[in-house]
Amino acid sequence: MTKKVFLLLFLGWGVLMGAPAPTPESDLLGTQIQTTLDSKLHSPYRTQIAELYRLNGFKALWVGPENAANYAALLHALENPLYNYNHKDFNLNEIKRLSFLLDNGELPPANVPAARARLDVLMSDALMRLLHFIRVGDVDWPLVQQKLKRLKETQDVQAAWDIRPKKLPETKELYQVLNQKELAPYLRKQLPLEPRYRKLLALLAKYRTMPNFPKLSYGRTLRINSTDSRIPQIKRMLKFFGDYPKHFAEDNQFDRPFAQAIRSFRSRFKLPPGNTVDNKVIQALNTTKKEYLRKILVNLEKLKLYPHRWEPDYVEVNVPEFKMRFYRNGQPIFSSDVVVGRIDRPTPIFDSKMTYMVLNPTWTIPDNLVRRDLIPMLKKEPDYLQKHNIHVYTSYKPNAPEVELDFEKLFSYEHDTRPIPYRFVQFPSDQNALGRVKFMFPNKYSVYLHDTDNKKLFGYRYRVFSSGCMRVAKPFDFMDLLLHYARGNYSEGKIQEILASNKPTTIRLKKAIPVHIVYFTVRREGKKDYFFYDIYLYDKMIWESMEGHKKASFRVPEKRLNPLRKERKRRRHFF
C-alpha cells in the first residue's frame, strides 16, 4: 500500500469507523445521501449513481467499517497510474479535504451527516469517472467516425474502422461488485489487453522522464571511424532509448559499439538497414519528447477499444507495422511481413474469424476496382485480360456464361454507380494476383490475407500497395500452421497434389480462428521500443478528437507519405 493511500485511510478512519449499525443516525445519513443526489450532485453520471444508491437502499457505499475494503481499493486506484496514468483529479482533492475535516472534528456536529453523505456520493462519482477513463478514455470516438467518413467526401478515401467504444458497466453489475467487496480485482479486469497496456504504461513513464534534447543539425553522413561534434549527444540519446549501453563513453568517436546502436535504432524506426548516421537517422533522432508522449497516449486510447484479453489462439495484423502474427495459447508462434492497403485505399480495421483457406484461388475483381483500375488499364492495354488469364462472365450467377467483352459498353460504366454488367475472374496460376493460397475470414469489406505473385513489394520500407487486402510474405508457412485446425488430414504430398492440379480447393477449419486487424503505432518488444509511422494519419485524427485537443474537422496535410519510388517498369497490381 502506498504512503499516500495509507495517509488517506488514516485520515478517513474516523469516517469509516463512525458509521454504526442501522440507527436513527444512519437513517439520517441515508436521507442526506438522497438530498445530495437530488440537489447537489452535478455529474454526467448522476442517473447511474442514483440507481446505485437505490439498489443499496440509499445506504452508504463507502463510509463505515463495512465498506473499508472498497474505500481502500478506490482510493488506491485513484492515485495509481495503472488506472489513472494522466493523474486526473476525479474528486480526490475534495475527498481528501472532507476526510480530514471529518476525522479531525473540524465540522459542527449538525453538519457531519451532510458532509459524510457528500463524501460518499463524491466517491461514487469518482468511481464512475475512473471507470469511464479506463474503459472509454478521453477520445470522442463518434467525432473520429465523422472524420473518417469525411475522408470519402473530401479525399475519395474509403477509410473503414469498426469502432465500438465500450460503455460504462451496468449499474447492477457495479452494485454486486461493491456488495461483494471485490472492487480491486474488478478494476483490474477492466484494463484493456492488459500485458500490452502495462508495457505502454511503462513506456509512458519512461518517456515522461526523457530529457528535452537539443535538435541535431543535418550534415554529412557519419560512418565507422568518423569523428563529429554531434556524436556525443547522439550517444546520450541512444543511452536513453536503450540502444547504447549506459556505461559506454560519450565521446565523439564513431566506434563499433556506436555502429551497433545505430543499427538497432534504425530497426526500431523501420529505417533502411545499416550503421551509418545519415539525415534520415538525424530526422528520426529529432523526434521530440512531446511527439513520443503523444504517440504513446494515443495508442493507450486505442487499446481501450479492446477487451481485457483476446482469445488463446488468434491472428493479428498490425497495419502500420506491416506485420502479422499468429498466437497459440496467447504466445506468438509465427510472424510474417505483410503488404497493406494504399494510403488512398486503406486496409479496414476490424475483427472477424477465419473459417477456411483456398488453394489455387480465383480472383473476382470487385466493381469498384473494375471502375478505378481495370477500365483505365484496358484503355491502355486492350489485351490485358488475355495476358493475365482474366475471364469475363455475364453476371455473378454460378452458371453465367463466359462472353467476349464489349469494351465500349464496359467503358460507359467508368464514372457512374450502376452495377457492372460483367464479372471478371482471374483463373489460378502462378501469375494470379492472390498467389497460390488465400485465407478467408468473411467480412463486409471483402478483404482477406493472401499470397502474392509480386514478392518484390516486401522489400519496401512502407508496404502500402494493395487495395485493402493483406499480402503475406510467408503464406505457406502460415498455411502449414493452420492445417493443424483443418477438417481432414492434409499431408505435404496431398498439398502438393492439390497445387499441381491448378484447381481451386477449399480447406475448411474445424475451429474458427479469430482475426484482429489493428492499428498500433507503438510496440514494446523485449527491451526495445518500436515506433511506427502513422501511415493513414489515424493517430493524428484521434489526437485531434481527444479531450483538450479537439478539432471539429480533420485536414489532411499537403505533404504526407509517398511510398512509391521512381521505378523502372514494374507490373501494375490493383488488388
Distance CA 433, CA 471 (A): 10
Q: How far apart are CA 244 and CA 268, in angstroms?
A: 13
The x, y and z cell numbers of residue 351, run together, are: 475483427
Residue 131 burial by CB count (10 A; 0-12/13-18/19+): exposed, middle or buried?
A: buried
- 469 included as an active-site residue: yes
Which residues are within 8 A (CB) of 94 and not within 5 positions of it... i.e. 6 or more apart? 122
| Interstrand relation of 528-531 and 522-525 (parallel, antiparallel or unpaired) | antiparallel
* Residue 518 grid cell: 489493428
The C-alpha cell 519496401 sits at 460
* Catalytic residue check, 42: no
The whole-angstrom separation of Cα 532 and Cα 561 is 13
The active-site residue, picked from 415, 469, 516, 549, is 469
How far, in Å, CA of 185 to CA of 327, rounded?
26
Give me the DSSP letters along 291-352.
Answer: HHHHHHHHHHHHHTTS-S---SSEEEEEGGGTEEEEEETTEEEEEEEEEEE-TTSPPPB-EE
Catalytic: which of 132, 450, 516, 573? 450
Q: Is 521 helix (H, G, I), strand (E, B) or coil?
A: coil
Cα-to-chain-centroid distance, residue 371: 32
Distance CA 233, CA 213 (A): 8
Amino acid at 547: E
Count of beta carbons in the 10 Å neighbourhood of residue 469:
24
The sign of the torsion formed by the CA atoms of 546, 552, 558, 561 equals positive
For residue 30, give the nearest of 105, 120, 111 by alpha carbon.
120
CB 31 within 8 A of CB 24: no
Residue 470 CB partners (closer than 8 Å, separation 6+): 317, 324, 338, 339, 340, 347, 447, 448, 449, 450, 517
CB 366 within 8 A of CB 373: no
DSSP H helices, 209-255, are 231-241
The rounded distance, in Å, linking the Cα atoms of 127 and 187 is: 10
Residues in a beta bridge with 531: 522
Question: Which amino acid is residue 487, in one-letter code?
Answer: R
Region of 105 (left: φ > 0; alpha: ψ -120 to 50; beta: rest) is: left
Place of cell 492445417: 483
Report the distance separating Cα 471 and Cα 473, nearest Å. Answer: 7
Task: Give catalytic residue positions.
Answer: 450, 469
